[in-house]
Chains A and B, each alone.
Chain A
Amino acid sequence: MAAGGPAHGPELTTAAVAGEALQPSGAAGSIASTGAGSPGSEGKPSAWAGFKKKSPLAALVIQRLALSVMLLFAVSLMIFGGVEALPGDFASTYLGQSATPQAVENIRKDLGLDRPAATRYFEWLGGALQGDFGRSWASKQSVSEQIGKRLGNSLFLAFFAAAISVPLAVGLGMLAVQYRNRLPDKIINVISLAAISLPEFFVGYLLILFFAVQLGVATFPATVYDSMTFGQRLSAIALPTATLVLVVLAHMMRMTRAAILNVMSSAYVETAELKGLSGLRIIARHAAPNAVAPVVNVIALNLAYLVVGVVVVEVVFVYPGMGQYMVDAVTVRDMPVVQACGLIFAAFYIFLNMVADIIAIVANPRLRHPR
């Protein structure tokens, strides 16, 4: 038997006087607990913690922004380190047969390669922050200037591919949900799957064969010049745009379909159905807003691909974009150009994913409207 056990039966213990017992244990309780539990954390509640509590949404967004900037710095370090570690040397490639040790040494000195890597990194980074990526070793021209034009071309192509593919993918995804497991759903699925399964250069050549060679309705090659009008440019990029749309469509469409289907089995969709709403209104108004987060992430990945991963399509269509520029630079070991392209690609990737994260955060009503 317990040593201190009571000899008599338990008395009725009413722990506290009625009024006090009903009080929320919040105020008094938390003070007591901070005192006893962890005295160290008492002094810490910083301005940041207060801000986080007051507006969790802004805090999360700021966190994401800061993370992105840090990530970009890490990437710049990796790009520079990677380029440094690459085998091969610009000077010996440039000089070819006539590469005497003395000539190589001269060129290295000319380009400043004899200085320590850390110094060159910070110089490069400092310049890049101001939009100056140095001069191309091969053409001796300003990298920023050359890239500016080509980046414009790449974005032009990516923009139209995105403007067509994103609404199309989301719309088709919703349609597939509306007719799920019926014929329209199956057709959409099969076609989009086929499109993603074919390699993009193959799709590109097929399109060229049909539309440019046999039917003659499209322009090839898709090279754009400064002198072209807007309309001419549009007609020039028609085929590469179509190729890109076909490549990225399936992924986004299937994700939209899966995310919305997931939401369709929830109780609030049943509520909407029992309100007598029509199928498409239920999908668009009640299901889609709750499927934003996963869909936006997939869209961001595909948009990033449209900017970053279009090398093959640019080469196939002879389109003067960033991808082709970078490939050319790699073959001649023109490092300032490779580094600049790498950093810009990384920045796009990080930026798009950050935007997707922020949209997903903002789309969450619990964060947007805290209790």
Chain B
Amino acid sequence: MASLLSVKNLKIEATSYPPGEPPRTVTLVEGVSFDVEKGKVLGLIGESGAGKSTIGLTSLAYGRGGVRITGGEVLLDGEDILKLSPAGIRKVRGCKVCYVAQSAAAAFNPAHRLGEQVIEASLKHGIMSRAEAEKRAVHLFGVLGLPNPETFGQRYPHQVSGGQLQRAMTAMALCPNPELIVFDEPTTALDVTTQIDVLAAIKHAIEETHTAALYITHDLAVVAQITDDILVLRHGKMVEYGPVKQIIEAPREDYTRALVNVRGTKREEAADQSGALLRVENVTAGYGMLRVLQDVSLHLPKGQTLAVVGESGSGKSTLARVITGLLPPQEGRITFDGKPLPKALKGRSNDELRRIQMIYQMADTAMNPRQTVRDIIGRPLTFYYGLRGEKKTARVKELLEQIEMGGRFADRYPAELSGGQKQRVAIARALAASPELILCDEPTSALDPLVAEGILNLLHKLQEETQVSYVFITHDIAIVRAIADSVAVMHRGRLVRFGPKSKVLSPPFDDYTDLLLKSVPEMEIGWLERVLETRRMESAGN
């Protein structure tokens, strides 16, 4: 059977403008070839910077932000769309090939109703009449499991949830009856419990309409549920290309093997969890009249890790703000090393501040871009210990060794570091204060799986060396398995479950923890069907 989309020897370049140097051409993608047959799904997988989205968008002959397609062919139904005129390209986009963006919340126009936007391409390309398009939109809303499909289209984007928007975006892509849909990380921005619904809806819709698809993601476990073939990319080059079964179960390349096994690490929890370095008792906190935390109590022994899990909006980060004193609790108290901590930041002594440090999700925004690594790490050394000159330089070097980066990075600026390196520098800055507790607020969620694993290993190593305790905020159960001694599950500002990892993560579960655990994709073909089947039986049983 002839391929619907056939990409041959693709080469994509862009011009980069490094500060203080002449512009130079960088190659983003080189020598990439693949085929998508009618009705089949191909998964593009790789880390950020691997060129996944760039390749996905070439099937719409689109280059984001000055990206140029400089070589190769993109054949759609045998026609090279790279050679089309602008008007010809417009006839392909939104008609033969449609696109589903990562953040539907940003990709929908806030000024128009969802229904109008969903049918716009179909009308513009003259594929169907308004009445037909509206009927099809309602049908698709139903297929995708959206509430009240008849009236859903009358809503504005801000009136529906993130998961619903993502499904509406899928409906928008399906509406003109395209031959190919490009899904660009459609579930990455969603909570894990929402992701599974959207994933199921997308899979169902693709099967229903026999549309071919390119599915772009960095999560191999997700792609294993939905695709027929997988193409593994790294640094813009092909690593491995084959059927999903072979890639998951018998990967040939080392890099693919690393991706498959990345969630495998598990750590035994500490046997003795008595004592408490940090104790949070009946804390209630919020902003104005809005209560974000309700009556939360937990504790953390010295030298151990407490993982706080929950979806966005569950109050995880607020808990961290309360512990640091940035947000004084309205009720309850916090004791640290046996002594009560003053509620507000202002009431705390320098030494109390020193003993609790923080690492943020976005290392980018947590560092001053105009300071060198030396200044960033050196600041707490001067502030807490009064170190200057040689002694400070020596200590900075020592800290850089500790985070496995070495002294040569001391004079670099944050912009000259990779994402993982930035997060390491942030860790070194926290370590510089020789704290007893580090609050880690999703420090790995913005990182690629392999880089994230490196950071987790580093944190673990540092804990063994310095006996530092961590409160590790995350939404990722796999990370909890990998690092935690005890676990706190949060939902809508309340503590749902708290205790040693082995007990929290084993049955009997409460409903929410059960849902959370079952929603985490597993590296196994057919996992999605299995979970959906269980759900169906459970609801039938009820």
Contact = CB atoms under 8 A, between A and B. Distances in A.
Given A21-B494, A276-B124, A37 B338 contact: no
Contacts of B512: 18, 21-22
Contacts of B422: none
Chain A interface size band reads 35 or more
Contact of B108 (A271, A273, A369): A271
A277 interface: yes
B279 interface: yes
Most chain B C-beta atoms within 10 Å of own C-beta, residue among A5, A22, A33, A274: A274
A33 B99 contact: no
B537 interface: no
Contacts of B111: 286, 289-290, 363, 365
Nearest to A287: B109
A226 interface: no
A331 interface: no
A267 B106 contact: yes
Interface string A347-371: 0000000000000000101100101
B110 A2 contact: no
Nearest to B487: A12
Contacts of B107: 267-268, 270-271
Contacts of B503: 12
Interface string B91-107: 11111001101010011
Interface stretch (B225-233, B268-276, B363-371, B447-455): B268-276
A9 B510 contact: no
Contacts of A19: 511
A271 B156 CA distance: 16
Contacts of A25: 291, 294, 492-494
B125 A276 contact: yes
B493 A365 contact: no
Given A21-B494, A21-B496, A290-B110, A277 B90 contact: yes
B92 A276 contact: yes
B173 to A, nearest CB: 9
A24 B335 CA distance: 29
Interface string B48-92: 000000000000101010000000000000000000000001111
A36 interface: yes
A34 B288 CA distance: 10
A228 interface: no
B169 to A, nearest CB: 8
- Label chain B's interface by main secondary structure: mixed
B461 to A, nearest CB: 25
B95 to A, nearest CB: 6
B280 to A, nearest CB: 12
A364 to B, nearest CB: 9
Contacts of B60: 274
Interface string A18-48: 1101101100011001101110010000000
Interface string B507-534: 0011110000000000000000000000
Chain B interface size band reads 35 or more
B494 A14 contact: no
Contact of A275 (B110, B121, B511): B121
A371 B510 contact: no
Interface in B385-412: none
A215 interface: no
Contacts of A9: 272-274, 500
A266 interface: yes
Given A15-B494, A273-B62, A369 B156 contact: yes
B222 to A, nearest CB: 21
A268 B109 contact: yes
A369 B125 CA distance: 30
A33 B124 contact: no
B104 to A, nearest CB: 9
A127 B99 CA distance: 65
B495 interface: yes
Contacts of B500: 9-10, 12
Nearest to A288: B111
B5 to A, nearest CB: 16
Nearest to A277: B124
A173 B498 CA distance: 59
Nearest to A271: B107
A101 interface: no
B128 interface: no
A272 interface: yes
Contact of A7 (B90, B274, B289, B504): B274
A98 interface: no
A10 B499 contact: yes
B497 A22 contact: no
B499 to A, nearest CB: 4
Contacts of A33: 284, 286, 289, 291
A213 to B, nearest CB: 49
A276 B486 contact: no
Interface of A: 1-3, 5-19, 21-22, 24-25, 29-30, 33-34, 36-38, 41, 266-268, 270-278, 281, 285-286, 289-290, 363, 365-366, 369, 371
The 10 closest A-B pairs by CB, nearest first: A275-B94, A12-B499, A276-B93, A267-B106, A276-B94, A289-B111, A18-B510, A12-B503, A276-B90, A275-B121
Given A21-B491, A363-B111, 8 more contacts: A10-B486, A15-B494, A16-B494, A22-B511, A36-B330, A277-B120, A290-B110, A371-B159
6 contacts: A2-B338, A21-B512, A267-B103, A286-B111, A286-B112, A366-B158
Interface of B: 60, 62, 64, 89-95, 98-99, 101, 103, 106-112, 120-121, 124-125, 155-156, 158-159, 272-276, 279, 284, 286, 289, 291, 294, 299, 330-331, 335, 338, 486, 491-500, 503-504, 509-512
